Amino acid sequence: MKNIALYCADPKRIREAEKLAADLKLNLLTSPPLPADTLALTGRRLELRRSGESEPIFVDFANPKLLYRLKHISIKKEAIARAVGLKKMKTPPVLDATAGLGRDSFILAALGCRVIMVERSPIIAALLADGLLRAAATARIASICRRMTLYQADSRFFSLPPDFRPGVIYLDPMYPARSKSAMVKKEMRCLRDIAGDDPDSGALLDWALARKVNRVAVKRPKGAKNLADRQPSFVIKSRKHRFDVYLAVHQTAMDDNLKALEF
Ligand SMILES: C[S@@+](CC[C@H](N)C(=O)[O-])C[C@H]1O[C@@H](n2cnc3c(N)ncnc32)[C@H](O)[C@@H]1O
């Protein structure tokens, strides 16, 4: 996605927009004409507007679909919960090393996990930060968002806060580009246009497997090859995806070259 600009026509938010534009190294526009792809700071939210798309992309943890899912949420029902090893009285701290728009992290936080999210695309991280800020002001979900902390960085080169020792690293890198494009959801298409194809996802798995954690869980499309050709300890299947789970014991046996590293 080239030529993206930040657009803000709300005089009350201009200062904020100036700071955001400087942080993201984008041109700030306060009136049309606008480029085809625009990050817009409105009175309500930060959103990405794309040519050819009728709806903007933004993070909304209070959307009705997600609220409905929350109402009926349970460890048993959520394959992701089983993938990270959640039990009723056991909610491991999770490092979501590919945060994206934060939906998976939100589900884990709703189930009680403290989650640190790391997202390397500055634009995607800005959309997520804005969603978290609005969620923090929404009574029904504020307590969930208090368990979520976002950093903009490449996970492989990021130092975690000293008081956070993850039990689990969760990875959901971009799906292989050959996924049938018409079926790939709009948000995912957009994430890929902004962040690219994550060609280093194999290296990210190797990095994760070398950390001192109990498990690494990787979300994959059905039928996709194992990441970095590494055989998981076990697989959890869900309706749309599968989760490849690598247990710590298994890792050491699998590859003697991988020495467990502290963060
Ligand atoms: C498929 S999306 C994740 C979607 C996310 N699970 C959700 O629920 O919204 C993959 C994201 O991982 C990010 N990513 C890939 N490699 C990364 C890395 N090494 N460090 C941080 N973020 C990374 C990409 O920029 C992209 O936004």
Q: What CATH number did the domain enclosing 117 receive?
A: 3.40.50.150
Residue to mutate (ligand 1; options 108, 198, 206, 219; most atoms within 8 A of CB): 198
pLDDT of residue 183: 46
Q: What is the CA(102)–ligand 1 centre distance, in A?
A: 9
CA 143/CA 256 separation, integer angstroms? 42
Residues 102 and 41 in one domain: no
Ligand 1 within 6 A of CB of 78:
no
User: What are the start-end ranges of the H helices in the chain?
Assistant: 14-24, 64-71, 79-83, 103-110, 122-136, 139-145, 186-195, 201-209, 248-254
CA 207/CA 201 separation, integer angstroms? 10
Residues 147 and 39 in one domain: no
**Residue 47 predicted with pLDDT over 60:** yes
Atom of ligand 1 at shortest range from CA of 195: 25
Residues 31 and 69 in one domain: no
Within-domain flag for 59? no
Residues 44 and 68 in one domain: no
Ligand 1 within 6 A of CB of 95:
no
Within-domain flag for 58? no
Which residue, by CA, sits nearest to atom 23 of ligand 1?
98
**Residue 179 predicted with pLDDT over 80:** no
Of 122, 125, 110, 131, residue with least CA distance to 59: 131
Residues 95 and 41 in one domain: no
- The stretch 62-70 carries a mean pLDDT of 95
**Residue that is written with structure tokens 């936080």 in the block:** 109
CA 99/CA 123 separation, integer angstroms? 12
Residues 90 and 41 in one domain: no
pLDDT in tens, 187-245: 788 888 888 888 999 999 999 999 999 999 999 999 999 999 999 999 999 988 999 99
pLDDT of residue 256: 56
CA 216/CA 244 separation, integer angstroms? 8
Q: What is the CA(125)–ligand 1 centre distance, in A?
A: 10
Within-domain flag for 103? yes
Weakest mean pLDDT among 14-23, 34-43, 82-91, 227-236:
82-91
Within-domain flag for 260? no
**Residue 259 predicted with pLDDT over 90:** no
Ligand 1 within 6 A of CB of 132:
no
State the residue range of the domain holding 169.
64-254
* Alpha-carbon torsion angle 138, 123, 65, 106, nearest 10: -70
Ligand 1 within 6 A of CB of 190:
no
- Structural domain count of the chain: 2
Within-domain flag for 259? no
Residues 38 and 71 in one domain: no
CA 248/CA 251 separation, integer angstroms? 5
Q: What is the CA(30)–ligand 1 centre distance, in A?
A: 30
Ligand 1 within 6 A of CB of 171:
no
Within-domain flag for 152? yes
Ligand 1 within 6 A of CB of 204:
yes
Q: What is the CA(128)–ligand 1 centre distance, in A?
A: 11
Residues 212 and 121 in one domain: yes
Of 148, 149, 144, 146, residue with least CA distance to 67: 144
Three-state secondary-structure class, residue 103: helix
Residues 107 and 215 in one domain: yes
pLDDT of residue 149: 98
Q: What is the CA(99)–ligand 1 centre distance, in A?
A: 5
pLDDT of residue 48: 96
- The mean pLDDT of the chain is 91
pLDDT of residue 182: 47
Whole-prediction pTM: 0.94
Residues 170, 174, 176, 179, CA torsion sign: positive
Within-domain flag for 124? yes
Atom of ligand 1 at shortest range from CA of 96: 6
Ligand 1 within 6 A of CB of 191:
yes
Q: What are phi and psi of 235, to 5 degrees?
A: -125, 140
Contact 72, 38 (CB under 8 A): no
Instruction: Tell which wins on pLDDT, 52 or 147.
Output: 147
Within-domain flag for 45? yes
- The stretch 24-49 carries a mean pLDDT of 96
Name the DSSP letter for residue 215.
Answer: E
Ligand 1 within 6 A of CB of 130:
no
CA 53/CA 33 separation, integer angstroms? 18
